[in-house]
């Protein structure tokens, strides 16, 4: 029996699913007594450090937790739960931590994109039972803007490089905690959890550890999901966002099944986009929640869900906030939500009034679940102009002139799945979204979508220059070479594709094999 400390702040379903996939039973903590009688306690920390400490205090869980830790009973902390073991955090200066390990939590100070999102390696500093059957070359999934800094190296279990070397896990007696997410780290992460749960395993040190670790460029499989004309939820795919062929919605497979296939083929993340959610209310769309619940049972990489995340008032006048919609998705197994149309409307309002309200979906969700949980999905379309000052938008000089020889273009934001163009450019949109608290940009391109002609490198470079958060390049992948191109000619942290994977033209494994010796990736 494994006891799980769920304080209600995010996606703990994945942790439960990962532990259950190892044949264990999970019970969750409801009161102090549950911690007192725990045999092995797993504490997945999600979201904001200050919010976590406050909830633990309100629920009167700090004392029993300290008792458990001081008694040196088996404990596994994940992400913010690692940070909780230290004295304090820059994320919430007024809040004190549990103080089990001397030190503090600091925000990353690096020129690299923050949050640190993706698959990175570890350098093992001491033996541990969690490294049984571990080669040392594995990559694990990180997602955080803050990291711990300790005054004594005794407890340091691993370090990782991201701009500089930081502590990526600790071990003190029976207390183990990792900054990375084992429940999201595929087979390598499951192995770590399995080793922790079996307290009889020997302590070992992996054979080969890297001298320096490097963040891998991520390959993401995207599943555009909608109901077809028969009412079945299917994975579809458009050409420049048009998903109909001979009048029917293209059906390329079943969402849960395809997600599982892409996971086993080596996808680093899976993204679901509920592409018609702008006209329906997604909480009524139970099948989509079910897709997440089922997928998260056996897909142990990060899951993003987008579509319809916005405030909504139903026919009876009942109001649902975007935060409530997102919370339902997180509870169903999502790690990140993506906001499309609503982000455009929010930014238009901020630009009009000159101020942020603090109440937008981006701000509210980022406050509760952390910036890293909020992705902005951008659906831009090229608009050609004759001169850089022809419009009051961010205009770029393009190598691919327009139909009338225009040498300049800007990228117009659209809403409702490309159906409505707005007077806002993608560069401005992403810049303002970052200021509002978004943690990542999913950068589609309507002109390139489904064309197999390669990513729009000019668009990606323009956006990448404007923001410091990670950018996922999307739309147009037609070959493994296109992935190499996007990772070498832009600074995109990840590349997403749909059509070539669905049509099995180039499977994910083949893309990764091609990239293997050329750039840093997570090997299959
Ligand atoms: O506006 O918050 O409700 O979110 C709706 C979401 O649905 C947005 O993220 C939007 O991008 C997406 N969406 C809406 N309509 C469509 C459509 O295709 N008709 N799909 C759509 C967008 C684009 C990519 C695609 C890549 C890669 N799909 O996600 O998967 O372009 O394709 P490729 O590799 O085949 O070229 P909201």
In DSSP terms, which residues pair with 167 in a beta bridge?
Answer: 148, 159
CA 249 – CA 236 distance, rounded (Å): 7
**230 cis-preceded (ω within 30 degrees of 0):** no
Q: How far is the CA of 477 from the centre of ligand 1 (A)?
A: 14
Q: How far is the CA of 449 from the centre of ligand 1 (A)?
A: 9
Residue extents of the structural domains in the chain: 2-197, 218-375+426-515
pLDDT mean for each 10 residues of the chain (524 residues): 85 91 96 96 89 92 97 97 97 95 97 95 97 95 96 95 98 98 97 97 93 97 92 92 93 96 98 85 73 96 95 85 92 94 98 97 92 96 98 97 98 97 98 98 98 98 97 98 98 98 97 97 92
Q: Does the structural domain 218-375+426-515 have CATH classification 3.60.21.10?
A: no
Sign, Cα dihedral of 23, 24, 25, 27: negative
Which residues form ligand 1's pocket by a CB distance below 6 Å?
Answer: 222, 224, 237-238, 241, 243, 273, 275, 277-278, 306-309, 338-342, 377, 379, 417, 444, 449-450, 474-477, 497-499
Identify which of 222, 223, 224 to mutate to test ligand 1's pocket (most ligand atoms within 8 A of the CB): 224
Q: Which two tokens stand for residue 83?
A: 């940070």
Beta-strand pair 88-89/103-107: parallel
Q: Which two tokens stand for residue 44?
A: 């997945």
Asked if 224 contacts 239 with a C-beta cutoff of 8 angstroms, the reply is no
pTM (2 decimals)? 0.96
Ligand 1: nearest atom to the Cα of 277: 3
Centre a 10 Å sphere on the Cβ of residue 287 and count the other Cβ atoms it contains: 13
* Contacts with 465 (C-beta within 8 Å, 6 or more apart), sequence order: none
Q: Which two tokens stand for residue 99?
A: 């103080």
Q: Which two tokens stand for residue 386?
A: 């004759």
Ligand 1: nearest atom to the Cα of 274: 7
The residues annotated with a catalytic role in the active site are 79, 181, 183, 224, 379
CA 436 – CA 91 distance, rounded (Å): 16
Asked if 255 contacts 291 with a C-beta cutoff of 8 angstroms, the reply is yes
In this structure, the dihedral spanned by the alpha carbons of residues 313, 440, 86 and 74, taken in order and rounded to 10 degrees, is 80
Q: Kindly report the CATH number that applies to the domain delimited by 2-197.
A: 3.40.50.880
Beta-strand pair 156-162/164-172: antiparallel
Q: Which two tokens stand for residue 94?
A: 């007024």
> pLDDT value at position 510?
97
Q: How far is the CA of 182 from the centre of ligand 1 (A)?
A: 29
CA 4 – CA 12 distance, rounded (Å): 9
> pLDDT value at position 288?
84
> pLDDT value at position 227?
87
Q: How far is the CA of 94 from the centre of ligand 1 (A)?
A: 41
> pLDDT value at position 416?
95
> pLDDT value at position 369?
86
**Residue 183 DSSP label:** G
Identify which of 219, 449, 453 to mutate to test ligand 1's pocket (most ligand atoms within 8 A of the CB): 449
Nearest to 7 by CA among 36, 39, 38, 50: 50
- For residue 443, the SS3 value is strand
CA 314 – CA 114 distance, rounded (Å): 37
CA 44 – CA 178 distance, rounded (Å): 10
Ranges of H-type helices in 313-453:
322-331, 341-353, 361-369, 426-436
Sign, Cα dihedral of 441, 445, 450, 454: negative
Asked if 265 contacts 524 with a C-beta cutoff of 8 angstroms, the reply is yes
Maximum C-alpha span of the chain: 75
Are 2-197 and 218-375+426-515 the same fold in CATH? Answer: no
> pLDDT value at position 284?
66
């Amino acid at each position: 029996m494994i006891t799980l400390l769920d304080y209600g702040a995010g996606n703990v379903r994945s942790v439960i699913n990962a532990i259950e996939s190892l044949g264990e039973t999970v019970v969750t903590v409801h009161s102090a007594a549950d911690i007192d009688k725990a045999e092995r306690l797993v504490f997945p920390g999600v979201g904001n450090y200050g919010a976590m400490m406050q909830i633990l205090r309100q629920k009167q869980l700090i004392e029993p937790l300290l008792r458990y830790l001081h008694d040196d009973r088996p404990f596994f902390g994940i992400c913010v739960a690692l940070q909780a073991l230290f004295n304090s955090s820059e994320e919430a200066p007024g809040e004190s931590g549990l103080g089990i390990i001397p030190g503090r939590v600091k925000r990353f100070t690096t020129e690299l994109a923050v949050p640190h999102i993706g698959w990175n390696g570890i350098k093992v500093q001491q033996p541990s039972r969690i490294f049984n059957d571990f080669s040392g070359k594995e990559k694990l999934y990180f997602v955080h803007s803050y990291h711990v800094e300790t005054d004594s190296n005794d407890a340091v279990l691993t370090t990782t490089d991201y701009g500089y070397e930081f502590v990526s896990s600790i071990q003190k007696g029976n207390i183990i905690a990792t900054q990375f997410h084992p429940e999201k780290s595929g087979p390598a992460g499951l192995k770590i959890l399995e080793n922790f749960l079996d307290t009889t395993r020997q302590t070992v040190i992996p054979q080969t550890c890297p001298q320096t670790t490097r963040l891998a460029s991520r390959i993401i499989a995207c599943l555009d999901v909608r109901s077809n004309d028969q009412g079945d939820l299917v994975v579809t795919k458009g050409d420049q966002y048009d998903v109909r062929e001979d009048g029917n919605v293209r059906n390329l497979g079943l969402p849960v099944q395809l997600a599982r296939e892409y996971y086993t083929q080596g996808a680093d993340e899976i993204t679901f986009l509920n592409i018609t959610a702008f006209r329906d209310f997604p909480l009524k769309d139970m099948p989509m929640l079910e897709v997440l619940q089922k997928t998260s049972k056996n897909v142990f990489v990060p899951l993003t869900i987008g579509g319809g995340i916005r405030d909504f008032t139903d026919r009876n006048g009942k109001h649902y906030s975007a935060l409530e919609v997102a919370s339902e998705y997180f509870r169903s197994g999502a790690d990140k939500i993506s906001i499309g149309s609503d982000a455009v409307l929010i930014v238009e309002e901020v630009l009009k009034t000159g101020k942020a309200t603090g109440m937008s979906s981006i701000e509210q969700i980022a406050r509760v679940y952390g910036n890293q949980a909020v992705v902005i999905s951008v659906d831009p379309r090229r608009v050609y102009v004759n001169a850089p000052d022809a419009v009051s938008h961010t205009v770029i000089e393009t190598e691919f002139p327009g139909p009338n020889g225009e040498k300049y273009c800007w990228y117009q934001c659209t809403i409702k799945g490309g159906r409505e163009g707005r007077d806002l450019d993608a560069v401005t949109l992403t810049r303002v979204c970052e200021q509002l608290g978004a943690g990542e940009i999913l950068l589609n391109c309507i002109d390139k979508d489904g064309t197999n002609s390669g990513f729009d490198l000019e668009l990606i470079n323009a956006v990448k220059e404007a923001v410091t958060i990670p950018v996922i390049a999307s739309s147009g992948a037609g070959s493994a070479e296109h992935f190499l191109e996007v990772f070498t000619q832009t600074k995109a942290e990840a590349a997403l594709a749909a059509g070539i994977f669905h049509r099995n033209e180039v499977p994910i494994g083949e893309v990764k094999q091609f990239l293997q010796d050329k750039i840093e990736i997570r090997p299959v």
